[in-house]
Amino acid sequence: MDLNGLSKGISLRPATSSDKYFINTLYRSTRDDLRLIDGDEDFVETLIEQQCHAQTVGYGEMFPHAFYFIIEKQQQSIGRVTLDFSNEAVHVVDIAFIPEARNKGYGESVLKALQLAAVKSCSPLVLSVHQGNWAAKRLYKKLGFIVDGFYPPYERMAWYPTTKEMMA
């Protein structure tokens, strides 16, 4: 996907079946919360695997027309983003980065490019964030997102393009 506004040498490409290992590894890197469970290591790893599968199935059911992209930096996979385009909004279903790519501005770059896509489609950009994910919420607020709904333990945040942005 060629999004104007992508910077920091990153690009998006459609995910393929050959990305399955990367996607599973990426998911595992985001579930440190499950590693805190007091249990056998095999049990915890099985639980993480089941959660990854449940997420995949859940996204497929809730967003059957979603697009799945791999985020690359200099042709190396560093993350993924799942998007759903509807008549009402551009929905960031999920965005995640490998540990080495976090806190480097890549997420901000992708979100700014998605904001430009939302401007072009005259649609808000929406996402959900865990209420306790302060770092992500800080970034979203910096980019102009506002909380427009509470669905514990998540908050729905939205960014609305202004008339000025749509006229540019």
CA distance 20 to 15: 9
pLDDT along the chain (168 residues), means of 10: 67 96 92 82 86 83 93 95 92 96 94 93 94 94 96 96 70
* Domains of the chain, each with CATH number or no CATH: 10-167 (3.40.630.30)
pLDDT for position 155 = 97
The pLDDT value recorded for residue 115 is: 94
The pLDDT, as a whole number, for residue 2 is 46
Cβ(93)–Cβ(67) below 8 Å: no
Whether 71 and 81 have beta carbons less than 8 Å apart is answered as yes
Q: How far is CA 46 from the centre of its chain?
A: 24
Q: Are strands 125-130 and 90-97 parallel, antiparallel or unpaired?
A: parallel
- Cα–Cα distance between 59 and 54 in angstroms, integer? 8
